[in-house]
Amino acid sequence: MLSVLRAKNFILMDELELALEPGLNVLTGETGAGKSIVVGALSLVLGGRASADHVRTGADEAEVEALFDVDPQAPALEPLRASGEVAPSEISIRRVVSSTGRSRAYLNGKLCTAAELAAIAPGLVDVASQHESVALTDPSTHLDHLDRFANLQEERAALAAQVRELEALQESIRALRAKEKTRAEREAFLRFQLQAIDDVGPKTGEIEALRAERSRLRHAGKLRDLVERAATRLDAEEGLCDQLGRVVADLRAAAELDPGLSPTAASVAACFAELRDAAASAARYLDSEAAEPNRLETIEERLYRIETLLRQHGPTEDDVLDARARLAAELDELAGAESKIEEEEKALSERLPPARERALALSRRRHQAADELGRAIGGELGALGMGGARVLVEVEPLPAKEEAASLSAGGARLTASGIDRVEFLIAPNKGIEPRPLRKIASGGELSRALLALKRVLAESAPSRLYVFDEVDTGVGGAVAERIGAAIADVAGHHQVLCITHLAPIAAFASAHFAVEKSADGEISKSHVLCLRGDARVREVARMLSGAKVTSASLAAAKEMIDSSAAATRQPTRPKRRTQAGRSRYS
């Protein structure tokens, strides 16, 4: 449940601290006072979209915090457990929004994304609003409601895993068959590409070495002249080597007369040896150049062939070699495509029957639960002032696709959610045939239908905060009192925050909060007060009589509060057990 909701500089509120209690928490106030701001703050910490409009005028940033008490094993915390986080018994969420609209999110003190908050939000809070009342007319939501009522989520998830596996096999078979149609042409192209690479046989780093050698050979004439001149000066008669040789002979003779000259003679002798080696190296260089007169042409041709491959598969020789590996792998895959198709078709034929059996069993359970859910919602609507209403939960097979390859079971299309489409039909009054909610229900009837559904599902749903945001639109009088009793009953299973304009609903609160708006100079401010005792009676009296509170309205408000308190102490309806073992109301 939600322990504390705090906001700072959020829209019209400079400071907000809302400490909710177990049971039914009611939030009231004049139209425009800022009741929706509380729901907006809650939405923000649950991963809602951040906007610069959230920041109060004159402030640099807005901040919203929420602290939830949770069961560490609750399904809501599965995303935390999946990420390796140890699920705590308390969850702290914080969102900070700057005046530029950028936001930061923190989960238990650690930075996180808004998407991560949104992933855990459904298990923490269930918001029922006028928007959701309208969404209830969308048949695509009805299957989820039926499955929750019948406790079929695990079975549906298991079927979804099977169907996704079947769809992956189908897609793979489809892709392999498409390749099969053009296999001969593709194989010829792949062999041509492979042969072009193999004919050249590039090696890693080869092109750089070839370019360096080409640059040297392009200057071969000048190089030869320079080296030949140097070789001549070194090794010709009376060249440097001859002269240095005579110097060595003289120094050695002198060293025999004076041993102190021996190091000098040895040093010059070493220079003489190195000079002779250099002369021999120059001679060999001239011989090698003469031995390969067409080397430059060979290099130019080799470079052209390698560069052609690089333009196709490059930019490096390693890229060409990687491309060759991919081409060879695809060629092998095409060669084994036929056997691969046979293998996957066999797997599909083996795995399809169990999925069909599960889908048909799931459909049978849905049909069984549909009658019970229809009766339960109808009974709730009767308690909410629609005694003549009849609800039919229609379960029909999904029409099969014409494609032969489409998945089917029992003549219906097989999808991850099963083979059924579900729609709630309602006859608001006796003598009227049930028709889709979207075609027949008024705003007030939709609000009551939503509340009836929430009440029916309250016991089977995991513990969390239920928010009823003005679902009482379009009703009043005795019906409003019945709606209050129904919301109070939901509060017997879950913590509830109800935003309402109706005194008969507010009278059922176990904790009553009021939003008031005031002006601070030219800036409006909203703040929330916790009402107790006489203050609460006065607020309910205001809701009854308007701005002018009279002694009569005060007396009526006190009587209404006392009567509602007495009603909530009594069981609202008897319970019975379903075959699934869950408690249901008859």
575: pLDDT confidence band, cut at 50, 70 and 90?
Answer: very low
Residue 536 falls inside a structural domain? yes
**Residue 147 domain flag:** no
Is residue 532 scored above 60 in pLDDT? yes
Answer yes or no: are the C-beta atoms of 124 and 70 closer than 8 Å: yes
Number of domains composing the chain: 2
- pLDDT tens for 410-420 read 889 999 999 99
Q: Is residue 448 part of a domain?
A: yes
Highest mean pLDDT among 49-58, 230-239, 365-374: 365-374
Q: Which tens digit of pLDDT belongs to each residue from 476-520? A: 777 788 888 888 888 888 889 998 888 999 999 999 999 887 766
Question: Does residue 468 or residue 385 have the better pLDDT?
Answer: 468
Q: Is 363 in contact with 395 (CB distance < 8 Å)?
A: yes
Q: Are residues 102 and 232 in the same domain?
A: no
As a whole number, the mean pLDDT across the chain is 83
Among 315, 346, 368, give the residue marking a domain's end: 315
The CATH code of the domain that includes 70 is 3.40.50.300
Label the pairing between strands 412-413 and 13-19.
unpaired
Work out the number of other CB atoms within 10 angstroms of the CB of residue 264: 12
pLDDT at residue 459 greater than cutoff 50 = yes
User: 87-123, pLDDT tens digit by residue?
Assistant: 678 889 999 999 998 999 998 888 989 888 888 887 7
Average pLDDT over residues 27-48: 84
Task: Report the pLDDT value the prediction gives residue 109, as an integer from 0 to 100.
Answer: 87
Residue 576 and residue 450 share a domain:
yes
The residue among 260 and 177 whose pLDDT is bigger is 260
Classify residue 390: in a domain, yes or no: no
Tally of CB atoms within 10 A around 515: 23
Provide the pLDDT for residue 130: 62
- Domain holding 505, by residue range, is 2-137+441-585
Q: What is the pLDDT of residue 492?
A: 85
**pLDDT, position 523:** 66
Percentage with pLDDT > 90 across the chain: 24
401 part of a folded domain: no
Same-domain check for residues 211 and 299: yes
Instruction: Give the single-character DSSP code of 58.
Output: T
The mean per-residue pLDDT over the stretch 178-194 comes to 81
0.85 exceeded by the pTM?
no
Predicted pLDDT of residue 363: 95
- For the ranges 145-149, 164-168, 336-340, 451-455, which has the lowest average pLDDT? 336-340
pLDDT at 582: 36
Write down which residue in 266, 288, 315 finishes a domain: 315
Q: Are residues 539 and 449 in the same domain?
A: yes
In this structure, what token pair is assigned to residue 331? Answer: 């060629």
286, 315, 344 - which closes a domain? 315
Unique residue bearing structure tokens 């809302």: 18
Query: Considering the domain boundaries, does residue 173 fall inside one?
Result: no
Give the β-pairing of 90-98 and 61-69: antiparallel
Assigned domain for 8 exists? yes
Placement of tokens 């690479």 in the chain: 197
Segment 373-396 mean pLDDT: 86
The secondary structure of residue 388, as a DSSP letter, is T
| Per-residue model confidence (pLDDT) at position 133 | 59
Q: Is residue 128 part of a domain?
A: yes
Residues 447 and 579 in one domain: yes
pLDDT surpasses 80 at 443: no
